[in-house]
Structure 1
Amino acid sequence: MARFAYVFVAMAAFCGSPLAHALTIPDELPDGVYEVDWLPGLREGIASITYFDIPHDVNMTAVETTSRLPLPVKQRDVNCLLKDKRAKNITWELTRSDDQAKAMNMLGNWCELATFVQKDAMVFAVVNDMMWYICNWDNKHNLLSYQQHCSRREMEAAAERMDKQCGKDKRAQLSIGIWQKTYGRSHRFGDVCHGKDTWSEHS
């Protein structure tokens, strides 16, 4: 019970903090998977943050996969996050490969369990200072017939491309333009989903 109370307090602080140009995950946010939903049409308006207690030491697999492979991307769609738009002293080296693998597995498990990713939302898994994330850039809230999905196999394919372009254990992200979504890996305190907090204003 104490853990969930702590999660609630940390998320409340996250919602109340001003967001400028990008998202930085607060240090006090406990390990886990989070979905951040934005209000349609409002700048810097977070509708909700949902916490999921997802394990990292098991592999969950959906009965019916939503994977769409191969990914419709080219190598130029990979962005090696050499610099950070907010923290000048951040390194693009991922310092804890074990925690990075745990974060990837947690997000993969969430994707296998989840029905879909909310419109104009971000989902991230964080373990200590390491994280994996997915950004859903689709903000057409009136198009309920199409829902954004993610999957472990898509994440693995994205990781292979990031490894090839940027090197293993490096901050990077892969943008899939035709699907309006991004897979990425980073430090907790680095910029992620750059521009996501202002994306809703364009809907």
Structure 2
Amino acid sequence: MYSLMDYMPSVFRALGLTIWLSWLSLIIGAFGGLLLALMRTSNVRVLRLIALLYTEFFRSVPILIVLFFFFYGAPLAFDINLSAFAAATAALSAHASALMSEVIRAGIESVGRGQWEAAHSSGLTNAQVMRHVVGPQAMQVILPPSVNIYIMILKESSIASIIGYVELTATGLLIREAHGGGFAILGIVALLYFIVCYAISLAGGLLERRMKVSGTGLQMDGLT
């Protein structure tokens, strides 16, 4: 009979799949969230309404229902077949984009209107204002909750096991069955989740401190 150590290569491969799934979903969600945030801050009422409805819908509906819709409902509604990975990515991205839109909107709105007006009066376009003036300051507001959202998405990725995607949680459950029960492997899985999430939290905190120092330096340069 195999020992738990014999299964460790499979566990670490599954951990890599979990990180890839959650990271890809966060990247897609960040772009979607940026688009939604720009729509929410638009002067066009229809765009604001569409973004609001999307955001509130995917923030309110349980992620499991969203996952089932993409995996079981989308093939029936749109005559397309999504793999378990694609369905899980779509569901997690939809949830992440709704969460990120509020975070990004809060970051954009944290920059005072006076800075927008001053930047526009200096001849900068909207894109230049966003890139050189608003973006760097908004990132200091956006980063901390974004780290928490990534940790949330990483943990939510475990529901992909329900539709047959063999990520870390599914691998742990399969090994548990093959090994004759027991909870040792689930303890290992839980420990790996903790290590990864804690590492992400530490990295996010370090990056946040560096951004604050950089932002302080830029402010001091502007005063001198």
TM range (shorter): under 0.3
Higher-Rg structure is 2
The answer to which structure has the higher helix fraction is 2
Higher relative contact order (CA 8 A, sep 6+): 1
TM-score in terms of structure 2 length = 0.23
The answer to which structure has the higher strand fraction is 1
